[in-house]
Amino acid sequence: MFKRGDIVEMDGILAAVVGTAEDGGAPEDHIALWLGEPLAKRISEGGRGGSQPEFLTVPIEYCKAARQAIVKH
């Protein structure tokens, strides 16, 4: 249903799909999500950088497709 790179909604929070059972990145019937780092600050704005990413695996049924993205440049 979902593939790596898709944006999904889980319990009202947007997340990026970073792994599926098909690509070996999650257990069967699950997907691996990156929820982002909402408290992150750019290095150019005084942030520290070097954060370690953390992924969450959840059952696919917890997720639905996100609304169409607004792309800004």
Checking if the pLDDT of 70 tops 80, the result is yes
Q: Which residue has the higher pLDDT, 71 or 40?
A: 71
- Render 3-48 in DSSP notation, one character per residue: -TT-EEEETTEEEEEEEETTTTSS-TTEEEEE---TT---GGGT--
pLDDT tens digits along 32-62: 999 987 778 889 999 888 888 899 999 999 9
Instruction: Name the residue ranges covered by the structural domains of the chain.
Output: 1-37+52-68
| Lowest-confidence segment of 13-22, 44-53, 61-70 by average pLDDT | 44-53
CA-wise closest residue to 16 among 34, 2, 30, 31: 34
Q: Distance between CA atoms of 2 and 22, rounded to whole angstroms?
A: 10
Q: Domain 1-37+52-68 class?
A: mainly beta
Record the pTM. Answer: 0.84
